[in-house]
Amino acid sequence: MNYKIALIRGDGIGPEVVNEAVGVMEAVGKKFGHTFTFVDVLLGGCATDAVGKSYPDGTAEKCKSCDAVLLGAVGGPKWGSDKPAEQRPETALLAIRKDLGLYANLRPAALRPAMLDACPLKKETAEKGIDLMMVRELTGGIYFGKRDKYQTEDRGIECTDLMAYSEKEIERIGRRAFELARLRRKKVSSVDKANVLETSRLWRSVMHRLAEEYSDVQYEDVLVDNCAMQLVRDPGQFDVVVTENMFGDILSDEASMVTGSIGLLPSASIGDTAPGLYEPIHGSAPDIAGQDKANPIATILSVAMMFRYSFQRAEEANAIEAAVDAVLAEGWRTPDIAESGVKAIGTKEMGRLIREHI
Ligand code: NAD
């Protein structure tokens, strides 16, 4: 197969980690007989510097002409909140997700076997294993609702952010979660705040309807505050966790921390038709950019997700994950995951070792 991949290298460590991920893709291509056409797409702070806006015209069309999109990271202090919206990298991230119709964000939080010691939880909790998939609704809810800011007579300035969800939006993300659970350990935990929020009560009723339809999948409702507790008490109980946009934003970061370093975790954002977008969960890490210190594993594992979810190529995905696990099992570490006193290797060397294992 020839796959056409849009590469958004972005800012900070983005270009460094994408380079290594591309190298791994090429190694997989060699082993399994695939070729790749790479299309460079300018987005983020680097686009602001080059053309004056973070989301240049034609970006979505360029990405839509590809089979999948790989993104490094965007952002940095140079393009902070004092800049107009069209120059800020975050504006571009929201725009690309919306324009590609990427309503489902998949964030696995898996404790890799060689990284048990990196888990900040009790040893016996870590040893039980952590392997969950957070499915976050990405294009609705309070982040996209109507906002208002106005002066009141007696209470100073007042602001509102509206959280809205439709049955249709809830059903499509719910289906994604149940379908994914069927490929995993067949359990869905749906997270809401149905004891308080009307949107959550609708969320829960739609999920219950789906749970009847997917009767082979075990289902439970979990209140968001309880979920936050359970993630640090016993994360091994979760398989697929599905939730709305803001809860998912917060809980997925919490889940990632229980697995150790953010430098290890990939993510996928997918829709119904357009190409999926694959990216590490970390940001552009300006503090270590350009120093060959960034951990490329999260981006490399994002490529594994691309093979699994966009190309339905589980064997290639497994090969990448096995190569990462083998390199970690041999004791190789980038500085972010190295124990004190252990000599760390750089971004390029980590990429080379993983390629070699493939
Ligand atoms: P960050 O994830 O960039 O960095 C947080 C800390 O983790 C830093 O100390 C950094 O050095 C370290 N780190 C991150 N990735 C690493 C890696 N691969 N290897 C080793 N260490 C790593 O988060 P931040 O500092 O809050 O944000 C920096 C910039 O990134 C901001 O402009 C922010 O808006 C942006 N950001 C972008 C995305 C994205 O592109 N999707 C996501 C989050 C943050």
* pLDDT number for residue 224: 98
Q: What is the pLDDT of residues 267-285, one digit of tens each?
A: 999 999 889 999 999 999 9
Asked whether the predicted pLDDT for residue 343 surpasses 80, the reply is: yes
45 CA: nearest ligand 1 atom: 32
Q: pLDDT grade, residue 24 (50/70/90)?
A: very high
pLDDT digits (tens, 9 = 90+) for 117-144: 888 899 999 999 999 999 999 999 999 8
Q: How many of the other CB atoms lie within 10 Å of CB of 131?
A: 16
Ligand 1 atom closest to 90 (CA): 34
Q: Within 10 A of 113 (CB to CB), how many other CB atoms are there?
A: 10
Side-chain-side CA neighbours of residue 46 (13 Å): 16
Using a 6 Å cutoff on CB, does residue 14 contact ligand 1?
no
* d(C-alpha 275, C-alpha 169), whole Å: 19
**Which residues does the annotation mark as catalytic?**
143, 193, 225, 249, 253
Tokens of 191: 């997270």
Measured from the CA of 74, which atom of ligand 1 is nearest?
40
pLDDT tier at 13 (50, 70, 90 boundaries)? Answer: very high
Give 145's DSSP letter.
Answer: S
Q: Can you give the pTM of this predicted structure?
A: 0.92
Is residue 194's pLDDT more than 80?
yes
Binding residues for substrate: 97, 107, 136, 225
Residue 140, ligand 1, Cβ within 6 A: no
Return the structure tokens found at 90.
């975050």
- Annotated binding residues, as ranges? 97, 107, 136, 225, 249, 253, 283-295
Q: Which residues contact 106 (CB under 8 A, 6 or more apart)?
A: 133, 134, 135, 180, 267, 268, 269, 270, 305, 309
Q: Which among 134, 46, 57, 137 has a CA at the least distance from the CA of 97?
A: 137
Average pLDDT over residues 305-310: 95
Nearest to 209 by CA among 270, 239, 167: 167
295 lines ligand 1 (CB under 6 A): yes
- For CA atoms 285, 256, 275, 294, the dihedral sign is positive
Report pLDDT for 341.
Answer: 77
- Tell me the mean pLDDT in the region 19-28: 98
**Angle, in degrees to the nearest 10, between helices 297-305 and 314-329:** 160
Minimal-distance CA residue to ligand 1 atom 27: 283
With a 6 Å cutoff on the Cβ, whether 74 touches ligand 1 is yes
The Cα–Cα gap between 93 and 103 comes to 13
Give the pair of three-digit tokens for residue 94.
Answer: 């929201």
Q: How far apart are the CA of 174 and the centre of ligand 1, in A? A: 29
User: Ligand 1: which of 259, 284, 297, 332 to mutate, most ligand atoms within 8 Å of CB?
Assistant: 284
pLDDT-above-70 percentage for the chain:
100
Which residue has a Cα nearest atom 26 of ligand 1?
Answer: 283
Q: How far is the CA of 80 from the centre of ligand 1 (A)?
A: 14
Cα 143 to ligand 1 centroid, rounded to whole Å: 21
Residue 45 has pLDDT above 80, yes or no: yes
Report how far ligand 1's centroid is from the alpha carbon of 218 (Å): 35
- Mean pLDDT computed over 169-181: 97
* Bridge partners of residue 279, in order along the sequence: 267
Q: How far is the CA of 44 from the centre of ligand 1 (A)?
A: 14
Any idea what DSSP says for residue 275? P
For a mutational test of ligand 1's pocket, the pick from 7, 278, 282, 291, i.e. the residue with the most ligand atoms closer than 8 A to its C-beta, is 282
